[in-house]
Amino acid sequence: MTDIWVAVVVASVGCYLLKLAGVSLPPSVLERDDVQRVAAMLPVAMLAGLVAVELFDDAGALGLDLRLLAGVAAGVVALLLRQSFLVVIIVAAATTALLRALT
């Protein structure tokens, strides 16, 4: 429990300090082209990594819950149909819940 508290407080304060740095640092530091490009690509690589871990991490081993995968696939369909963020995650959860109830 304490471990989670430390993570929550450290990460929260850290994220706040990043915002504060953004409105405090001289723009020349943040306006460098290569710095901006790395910053733009960071969430792309990490969000993709997070999706993979959520799907394929079974307590530290590679594994796959097909009902979870089907839920996320339904979310992808919603994304392709240009549905809003909220619709996407609700469709994913509902699909997974339905498949769990049936199987």
Partner 1 sequence: MSDDSRPAIRRDAAGIAAYAAAFGASFGAVSVASGLSVWQTMVLSLVMFSGASQFALVGVIGSGGAGLAAVPTALLLGVRNAFYGVPLTRILGRRSLAGPRRLVTAQLVIDETTAMAVGHDERPAQRYAFWVTGVLLFLLWNAGTLAGAVGGSAIGDPATLGLDAMIPAAFLALLWPRLRTAEGRWVAAGGALVATVLIPLVPAGVPVLATAPIAVVAGLLPRREATR
Report the site for partner 1 in 8-37 (rule: CB under 8 A).
8-16, 18-25, 27, 30-31, 33-34, 36-37
Q: How far apart are CA 32 and CA 52, in angstroms?
A: 31
Q: Exposed/middle/buried for 96, CB within 10 Å: 0-12, 13-18, 19+?
A: buried
93 touches partner 1 by CB under 8 A: yes
What is the nearest approach in angstroms of partner 1 to the Cβ of residue 51?
Answer: 5
What is the nearest approach in angstroms of partner 1 to the Cβ of residue 89?
Answer: 4
81 touches partner 1 by CB under 8 A: no
The DSSP symbol for 48 reads: H
